[in-house]
Amino acid sequence: NWTTHNVVEEQVALIREQVGTKRAICGLSGGVDSAVAAALVQKAIGSQLTCVYVDHGLMRKGETEQVEKDFVAATGVQLKVVDAQERFLTALAGVSDPETKRKIIGREFIRVFEQAQLEILQEDGPEVAFLVQGTLYPDVVESGGGTGTANIKSHHNVGGLPDDIEFELVEPLRKLFKDEVRMVGQELGLPEEIVQRQPFPGPGLGIRIVGEVTKDRLDLLREADAIAREELTAAGLDREIWQCPVVLLADVRSVGVQGDGRTYGHPIVLRPVSSEDAMTADWTRMPYDVLAKISTRITNEVSDVNRVVLDVTSKPPGTIEWE
Ligand code: XMP
Protein backbone atom coordinates (compact mmCIF):
# COMPACT_ATOMS: atom_id res chain seq x y z
CA ASN A 1 0.00 0.00 0.00
CA TRP A 2 1.16 3.51 -0.87
CA THR A 3 2.17 5.57 2.12
CA THR A 4 4.85 8.23 2.22
CA HIS A 5 6.51 6.18 4.96
CA ASN A 6 6.79 3.17 2.66
CA VAL A 7 8.05 5.28 -0.22
CA VAL A 8 10.80 6.67 1.99
CA GLU A 9 11.80 3.23 3.33
CA GLU A 10 11.85 1.71 -0.15
CA GLN A 11 13.86 4.54 -1.71
CA VAL A 12 16.36 4.62 1.16
CA ALA A 13 17.06 0.90 0.64
CA LEU A 14 17.38 1.32 -3.14
CA ILE A 15 19.72 4.31 -2.82
CA ARG A 16 21.97 2.44 -0.35
CA GLU A 17 22.15 -0.47 -2.74
CA GLN A 18 22.91 1.74 -5.74
CA VAL A 19 25.52 4.00 -4.16
CA GLY A 20 27.25 1.48 -1.88
CA THR A 21 30.31 3.06 -0.29
CA LYS A 22 30.90 5.65 -3.02
CA ARG A 23 30.03 9.35 -2.86
CA ALA A 24 27.30 11.39 -4.51
CA ILE A 25 26.73 15.03 -5.41
CA CYS A 26 23.42 16.87 -5.56
CA GLY A 27 22.71 20.37 -6.80
CA LEU A 28 20.14 22.27 -4.75
CA SER A 29 18.09 24.92 -6.52
CA GLY A 30 15.89 26.00 -3.63
CA GLY A 31 12.98 24.18 -5.27
CA VAL A 32 10.93 21.29 -3.93
CA ASP A 33 12.23 18.52 -6.16
CA SER A 34 15.95 18.89 -5.59
CA ALA A 35 15.36 19.41 -1.85
CA VAL A 36 13.31 16.24 -1.43
CA ALA A 37 15.68 14.19 -3.60
CA ALA A 38 18.63 15.41 -1.54
CA ALA A 39 16.86 14.72 1.76
CA LEU A 40 16.09 11.15 0.69
CA VAL A 41 19.66 10.50 -0.38
CA GLN A 42 20.95 12.12 2.81
CA LYS A 43 18.75 9.79 4.86
CA ALA A 44 20.15 6.84 2.93
CA ILE A 45 23.89 7.59 2.77
CA GLY A 46 24.51 10.52 5.14
CA SER A 47 27.94 12.07 4.78
CA GLN A 48 28.62 10.26 1.50
CA LEU A 49 26.44 12.99 -0.02
CA THR A 50 27.59 16.54 -0.69
CA CYS A 51 25.07 19.12 -1.85
CA VAL A 52 26.01 22.16 -3.89
CA TYR A 53 24.08 25.41 -3.88
CA VAL A 54 25.02 28.10 -6.36
CA ASP A 55 24.00 31.48 -4.97
CA HIS A 56 23.50 33.45 -8.17
CA GLY A 57 21.90 36.38 -6.38
CA LEU A 58 18.67 36.00 -8.36
CA MET A 59 16.66 34.32 -5.62
CA ARG A 60 13.78 35.89 -3.76
CA LYS A 61 14.05 37.30 -0.26
CA GLY A 62 14.91 34.64 2.30
CA GLU A 63 15.24 31.73 -0.14
CA THR A 64 18.98 31.35 0.03
CA GLU A 65 18.79 31.41 3.85
CA GLN A 66 16.08 28.71 3.70
CA VAL A 67 18.52 26.42 1.90
CA GLU A 68 21.66 27.39 3.85
CA LYS A 69 20.09 27.31 7.31
CA ASP A 70 16.67 25.65 7.46
CA PHE A 71 17.29 22.85 4.98
CA VAL A 72 20.66 22.04 6.49
CA ALA A 73 19.17 22.11 10.00
CA ALA A 74 16.34 19.80 8.99
CA THR A 75 18.49 17.24 7.18
CA GLY A 76 22.03 17.56 8.51
CA VAL A 77 23.23 17.56 4.93
CA GLN A 78 26.79 18.50 4.00
CA LEU A 79 26.41 21.67 1.91
CA LYS A 80 28.85 23.56 -0.26
CA VAL A 81 27.58 27.07 -1.00
CA VAL A 82 29.19 28.95 -3.86
CA ASP A 83 28.70 32.71 -3.68
CA ALA A 84 28.58 33.63 -7.35
CA GLN A 85 26.53 36.83 -7.10
CA GLU A 86 29.23 39.11 -8.47
CA ARG A 87 29.99 36.74 -11.29
CA PHE A 88 26.35 36.64 -12.44
CA LEU A 89 25.94 40.42 -12.16
CA THR A 90 29.07 40.96 -14.20
CA ALA A 91 27.95 38.49 -16.86
CA LEU A 92 24.51 40.12 -17.05
CA ALA A 93 25.74 43.73 -17.16
CA GLY A 94 24.29 45.66 -20.07
CA VAL A 95 22.01 42.79 -21.19
CA SER A 96 18.28 43.38 -21.66
CA ASP A 97 17.27 40.74 -24.19
CA PRO A 98 15.34 37.93 -22.45
CA GLU A 99 16.82 35.01 -24.39
CA THR A 100 20.33 36.36 -23.98
CA LYS A 101 19.76 36.71 -20.24
CA ARG A 102 18.51 33.12 -20.02
CA LYS A 103 21.52 31.83 -21.97
CA ILE A 104 23.99 33.74 -19.81
CA ILE A 105 22.39 32.59 -16.56
CA GLY A 106 22.28 28.96 -17.77
CA ARG A 107 25.87 29.04 -18.97
CA GLU A 108 27.26 30.65 -15.81
CA PHE A 109 25.29 28.26 -13.66
CA ILE A 110 26.77 25.20 -15.36
CA ARG A 111 30.29 26.63 -15.14
CA VAL A 112 30.02 27.41 -11.44
CA PHE A 113 28.35 24.08 -10.65
CA GLU A 114 30.94 22.06 -12.56
CA GLN A 115 33.76 23.90 -10.85
CA ALA A 116 32.22 22.99 -7.49
CA GLN A 117 31.87 19.37 -8.62
CA LEU A 118 35.54 19.25 -9.58
CA GLU A 119 36.53 20.61 -6.16
CA ILE A 120 34.49 17.90 -4.46
CA LEU A 121 36.06 15.26 -6.72
CA GLN A 122 39.48 16.40 -5.56
CA GLU A 123 38.69 16.02 -1.86
CA ASP A 124 39.96 12.96 -0.06
CA GLY A 125 37.48 10.13 0.25
CA PRO A 126 35.74 7.43 -1.74
CA GLU A 127 35.12 7.86 -5.45
CA VAL A 128 32.40 10.36 -6.40
CA ALA A 129 30.37 8.35 -8.90
CA PHE A 130 26.79 9.58 -8.55
CA LEU A 131 24.78 12.67 -9.35
CA VAL A 132 21.40 13.06 -7.63
CA GLN A 133 18.58 14.57 -9.64
CA GLY A 134 15.01 15.44 -8.70
CA THR A 135 13.47 13.97 -11.85
CA LEU A 136 9.71 13.43 -11.42
CA TYR A 137 7.44 10.92 -13.14
CA PRO A 138 6.06 13.47 -15.64
CA ASP A 139 9.66 14.34 -16.65
CA VAL A 140 10.41 10.63 -17.16
CA VAL A 141 7.38 10.17 -19.40
CA GLU A 142 8.15 13.33 -21.36
CA SER A 143 11.74 12.33 -22.05
CA GLY A 144 11.00 8.75 -23.12
CA GLY A 145 11.74 6.93 -19.87
CA GLY A 146 15.47 6.14 -20.01
CA THR A 147 17.77 6.41 -17.02
CA GLY A 148 20.99 8.13 -17.70
CA THR A 149 24.42 9.32 -16.96
CA ALA A 150 25.86 12.80 -16.93
CA ASN A 151 29.24 13.93 -18.13
CA ILE A 152 31.39 16.69 -16.90
CA LYS A 153 34.41 17.75 -18.80
CA SER A 154 37.38 19.18 -17.01
CA HIS A 155 37.83 22.20 -19.24
CA HIS A 156 38.36 24.36 -16.19
CA ASN A 157 42.06 24.07 -15.99
CA VAL A 158 41.98 22.02 -12.82
CA GLY A 159 44.91 19.67 -12.84
CA GLY A 160 45.01 15.96 -12.14
CA LEU A 161 41.58 14.94 -13.32
CA PRO A 162 40.55 12.70 -16.17
CA ASP A 163 39.31 14.52 -19.28
CA ASP A 164 35.77 13.35 -18.99
CA ILE A 165 34.05 12.16 -15.83
CA GLU A 166 30.85 10.21 -16.03
CA PHE A 167 28.33 10.17 -13.21
CA GLU A 168 25.59 7.63 -12.79
CA LEU A 169 22.27 9.29 -11.96
CA VAL A 170 20.36 8.72 -8.73
CA GLU A 171 16.74 9.71 -9.26
CA PRO A 172 14.67 8.76 -6.21
CA LEU A 173 11.56 10.71 -7.32
CA ARG A 174 11.14 9.00 -10.70
CA LYS A 175 7.86 7.36 -9.74
CA LEU A 176 6.31 10.36 -8.05
CA PHE A 177 4.04 13.23 -9.00
CA LYS A 178 4.52 16.71 -7.60
CA ASP A 179 1.93 16.42 -4.83
CA GLU A 180 3.47 13.11 -3.74
CA VAL A 181 6.92 14.72 -3.67
CA ARG A 182 5.55 17.40 -1.32
CA MET A 183 4.10 14.66 0.94
CA VAL A 184 7.43 12.82 1.01
CA GLY A 185 9.18 16.10 1.84
CA GLN A 186 6.80 16.59 4.73
CA GLU A 187 7.43 13.03 5.94
CA LEU A 188 11.15 13.82 5.89
CA GLY A 189 10.57 16.88 8.07
CA LEU A 190 11.55 19.54 5.54
CA PRO A 191 10.54 23.16 6.24
CA GLU A 192 7.05 24.10 5.08
CA GLU A 193 8.44 27.03 3.04
CA ILE A 194 10.40 24.62 0.89
CA VAL A 195 7.85 21.80 0.67
CA GLN A 196 4.95 24.07 -0.30
CA ARG A 197 6.92 26.37 -2.56
CA GLN A 198 5.25 27.46 -5.78
CA PRO A 199 7.03 27.07 -9.13
CA PHE A 200 9.90 29.49 -9.59
CA PRO A 201 11.96 29.72 -12.78
CA GLY A 202 15.60 28.62 -12.82
CA PRO A 203 16.81 32.05 -14.07
CA GLY A 204 15.03 33.52 -11.04
CA LEU A 205 14.44 37.25 -10.72
CA GLY A 206 16.77 37.76 -13.68
CA ILE A 207 13.81 37.24 -16.00
CA ARG A 208 11.42 39.27 -13.85
CA ILE A 209 13.27 42.53 -14.43
CA VAL A 210 12.30 43.89 -17.81
CA GLY A 211 15.52 45.63 -18.73
CA GLU A 212 19.07 45.25 -17.47
CA VAL A 213 19.62 43.26 -14.27
CA THR A 214 21.47 45.25 -11.61
CA LYS A 215 21.99 44.79 -7.88
CA ASP A 216 19.76 47.75 -6.99
CA ARG A 217 16.94 46.53 -9.20
CA LEU A 218 17.19 43.02 -7.75
CA ASP A 219 17.00 44.41 -4.22
CA LEU A 220 13.99 46.52 -5.13
CA LEU A 221 12.18 43.61 -6.78
CA ARG A 222 12.99 41.34 -3.82
CA GLU A 223 11.24 43.81 -1.51
CA ALA A 224 8.15 44.11 -3.71
CA ASP A 225 7.96 40.34 -4.21
CA ALA A 226 8.31 39.67 -0.48
CA ILE A 227 5.38 42.02 0.26
CA ALA A 228 3.18 40.35 -2.36
CA ARG A 229 4.00 36.88 -1.04
CA GLU A 230 3.43 37.93 2.54
CA GLU A 231 -0.02 39.33 1.79
CA LEU A 232 -1.02 36.37 -0.41
CA THR A 233 -0.07 34.02 2.41
CA ALA A 234 -1.85 36.16 5.03
CA ALA A 235 -5.01 36.01 2.89
CA GLY A 236 -4.68 32.22 2.55
CA LEU A 237 -4.31 32.52 -1.23
CA ASP A 238 -0.79 31.10 -1.54
CA ARG A 239 -2.02 27.53 -2.04
CA GLU A 240 -4.94 28.53 -4.24
CA ILE A 241 -2.93 30.52 -6.73
CA TRP A 242 -0.60 28.53 -8.98
CA GLN A 243 2.05 31.23 -8.80
CA CYS A 244 2.29 35.00 -8.78
CA PRO A 245 5.29 36.44 -10.57
CA VAL A 246 6.07 39.99 -9.48
CA VAL A 247 7.75 41.87 -12.30
CA LEU A 248 9.75 45.12 -12.32
CA LEU A 249 9.42 47.25 -15.44
CA ALA A 250 12.84 48.75 -15.01
CA ASP A 251 12.88 50.53 -18.37
CA VAL A 252 9.50 52.18 -17.82
CA ARG A 253 8.86 55.25 -15.72
CA SER A 254 5.64 57.02 -14.95
CA VAL A 255 4.70 60.13 -13.04
CA GLY A 256 3.30 59.86 -9.56
CA VAL A 257 2.62 61.94 -6.51
CA GLN A 258 3.99 60.68 -3.22
CA GLY A 259 4.58 62.46 0.04
CA ASP A 260 5.58 66.03 -0.70
CA GLY A 261 5.66 65.95 -4.41
CA ARG A 262 5.97 64.56 -7.85
CA THR A 263 7.82 61.30 -8.44
CA TYR A 264 9.03 59.61 -11.57
CA GLY A 265 9.24 55.93 -10.68
CA HIS A 266 8.89 52.39 -11.94
CA PRO A 267 5.80 50.19 -12.17
CA ILE A 268 5.55 46.79 -10.53
CA VAL A 269 3.38 44.18 -12.26
CA LEU A 270 1.45 41.52 -10.33
CA ARG A 271 0.85 38.38 -12.38
CA PRO A 272 -1.30 35.97 -10.31
CA VAL A 273 -2.27 32.92 -12.37
CA SER A 274 -4.41 29.85 -11.95
CA SER A 275 -3.23 26.72 -13.74
CA GLU A 276 -3.06 22.91 -13.65
CA ASP A 277 0.29 22.37 -15.31
CA ALA A 278 1.59 25.79 -16.47
CA MET A 279 0.98 24.85 -20.12
CA THR A 280 -2.12 27.03 -20.07
CA ALA A 281 -3.18 29.48 -17.39
CA ASP A 282 -5.77 32.07 -16.56
CA TRP A 283 -5.29 35.23 -14.56
CA THR A 284 -6.60 34.76 -11.05
CA ARG A 285 -9.67 36.74 -10.05
CA MET A 286 -8.19 37.83 -6.77
CA PRO A 287 -10.11 39.70 -4.06
CA TYR A 288 -9.77 43.45 -4.57
CA ASP A 289 -8.98 44.09 -0.92
CA VAL A 290 -5.90 41.85 -1.10
CA LEU A 291 -4.77 43.58 -4.30
CA ALA A 292 -5.31 46.95 -2.60
CA LYS A 293 -3.25 45.93 0.41
CA ILE A 294 -0.37 44.72 -1.77
CA SER A 295 -0.47 47.87 -3.91
CA THR A 296 -0.53 50.23 -0.92
CA ARG A 297 2.29 48.43 0.83
CA ILE A 298 4.53 48.22 -2.24
CA THR A 299 4.16 51.90 -3.13
CA ASN A 300 4.64 52.92 0.51
CA GLU A 301 7.52 50.62 1.36
CA VAL A 302 9.53 50.21 -1.84
CA SER A 303 11.34 53.33 -2.96
CA ASP A 304 11.32 54.16 -6.67
CA VAL A 305 8.04 52.32 -7.19
CA ASN A 306 5.02 54.59 -7.63
CA ARG A 307 2.59 52.34 -9.47
CA VAL A 308 1.34 48.74 -9.19
CA VAL A 309 -0.48 47.16 -12.13
CA LEU A 310 -2.36 43.87 -12.54
CA ASP A 311 -1.74 41.58 -15.51
CA VAL A 312 -5.12 40.33 -16.76
CA THR A 313 -3.87 38.19 -19.65
CA SER A 314 -4.48 34.45 -19.93
CA LYS A 315 -1.90 32.00 -21.32
CA PRO A 316 -2.04 31.86 -24.27
CA PRO A 317 -1.49 34.50 -25.50
CA GLY A 318 0.67 35.73 -22.60
CA THR A 319 3.25 33.42 -21.02
CA ILE A 320 3.25 33.24 -17.23
CA GLU A 321 6.64 34.92 -16.97
CA TRP A 322 7.22 38.24 -18.74
CA GLU A 323 10.51 37.12 -20.27
P1 XMP B 1 5.92 30.44 -19.09
O2 XMP B 1 6.47 31.81 -18.80
O3 XMP B 1 6.65 29.78 -20.22
O4 XMP B 1 6.24 29.57 -17.79
O5 XMP B 1 4.44 30.44 -19.27
C6 XMP B 1 5.70 28.28 -17.56
C7 XMP B 1 6.21 27.80 -16.22
O8 XMP B 1 7.60 27.53 -16.27
C9 XMP B 1 8.29 28.36 -15.36
N10 XMP B 1 9.52 28.77 -16.04
C11 XMP B 1 10.73 28.20 -15.85
N12 XMP B 1 11.11 27.23 -15.01
N13 XMP B 1 13.32 27.43 -15.81
C14 XMP B 1 12.42 26.86 -14.98
O15 XMP B 1 12.80 25.98 -14.21
C16 XMP B 1 13.00 28.40 -16.69
O17 XMP B 1 13.85 28.89 -17.43
C18 XMP B 1 11.63 28.80 -16.69
N19 XMP B 1 10.95 29.73 -17.41
C20 XMP B 1 9.67 29.69 -16.99
C21 XMP B 1 7.36 29.50 -15.04
O22 XMP B 1 7.62 30.08 -13.77
C23 XMP B 1 6.03 28.81 -15.10
O24 XMP B 1 5.78 28.08 -13.91
Identify the residue whose C-alpha is closest to ligand 1 atom 21.
201
Would you state the pLDDT for residue 162?
61
Between the CA of 82 and the centroid of ligand 1 the distance, in Å, is 24
Using a pLDDT cut of 90, give the percent of the chain over it: 89
Would you state the pLDDT for residue 146?
77
* Predicted structure pTM score: 0.93
ipTM over 0.85: yes
Identify the residue whose C-alpha is closest to ligand 1 atom 11.
201
C-alpha–C-alpha distance, residues 89 and 77, integer Å: 29
Would you state the pLDDT for residue 166?
86
Domains and CATH numbers, the chain: 4-194 (3.40.50.620), 208-310 (3.30.300.10)
Would you state the pLDDT for residue 279?
94
Structural contact between residues 191 and 51, judged by C-beta atoms closer than 8 angstroms: no
Indicate whether residue 202 lines ligand 1 (CB < 6 A).
Answer: yes
For residue 139, what are the contacts with CB-CB under 8 A and spacing of at least 6?
Answer: none
C-alpha–C-alpha distance, residues 44 and 16, integer Å: 6
What is the phi/psi pair of residue 308, to 5°?
-125, 130
Positions in the chain short of pLDDT 70: 153-163
Question: Could you give the 3-state DSSP secondary structure of residue 163?
Answer: coil
Would you state the pLDDT for residue 108?
97
Identify the residue whose C-alpha is closest to ligand 1 atom 14.
201
Would you state the pLDDT for residue 164?
72
Between the CA of 201 and the centroid of ligand 1 the distance, in Å, is 5
